[in-house]
């Protein structure tokens, strides 16, 4: 089974960006944990990061032809306003789980609204890097 993990804007500076909210691990360290978990679950995983909305949309579109079985996406700030990413996810016929490192509901009001969540299979927030790992367990149960 092949899954795609997408990291959105500013996640490339994890470890440097407000560690009290996002944790002290770098994106590279998180990716290694994702790869380890994928191996445990029998997944083949591709990991992608971009600070650009159009690149993320195109990567989601690639899931149509590349036969992914599921997607985990941390759209970061794009979750609050990207109708383009929402529409790209809505096209898919595979499970998509939105994740966030921080508890977006315990932060500024604007962070509690996701335009992406309604077209996803689920949303996991506030578990730090474990949000990704829990999402992988969930995908394992959802993929037939």
* 71-99 pLDDT tens trace: 999 999 999 999 999 999 999 999 999 99
Domain assignment of residue 31, given as a range: 2-142
Reduced to 3 states, what is the DSSP secondary structure of residue 142? helix
Per-residue confidence band for 65, with pLDDT thresholds at 50, 70 and 90: confident
| Positions marked active-site | 22, 100
Element (H, E) at 47: strand 44-49
CA–CA distances in Å: residue 138 to residues 12, 99, 144: 25, 12, 12
When pLDDT is cut at 50, 70 and 90, the band that residue 135 belongs to is: very high
Q: How many domains does the chain have?
A: 1
Q: Which of 42-56, 65-79, 106-120 has the lowest mean pLDDT?
A: 106-120
pTM above 0.85? yes
Kindly report the CATH number assigned to the domain that includes residue 121: 3.40.50.9100
| C-alpha–C-alpha distance, residues 121 and 126, integer Å | 17
User: Which 3 state secondary structure label does DSSP give 78?
Assistant: helix
- Decide if pLDDT at 7 tops 90: yes
């Amino acid at each position: 089974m092949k899954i795609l993990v997408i990291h959105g804007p500013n996640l490339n500076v994890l470890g440097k960006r407000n560690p009290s909210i996002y944790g002290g691990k770098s994106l590279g360290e998180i990716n290694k944990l994702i790869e380890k978990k994928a191996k445990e679950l029998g997944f083949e995983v591709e990991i992608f990061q971009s600070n650009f909305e159009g690149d993320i949309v195109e990567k989601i579109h690639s899931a149509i032809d590349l036969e992914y079985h599921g997607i985990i996406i941390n759209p970061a700030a794009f979750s609050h306003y990207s109708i383009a990413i929402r529409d790209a996810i809505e096209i898919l016929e595979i499970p998509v789980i939105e994740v966030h490192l921080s508890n977006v509901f315990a932060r500024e009001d604007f962070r509690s609204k996701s335009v992406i969540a309604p077209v996803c299979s689920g949303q996991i927030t506030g578990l730090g890097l474990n949000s990704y790992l829990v999402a992988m367990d969930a995908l394992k149960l959802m993929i037939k």
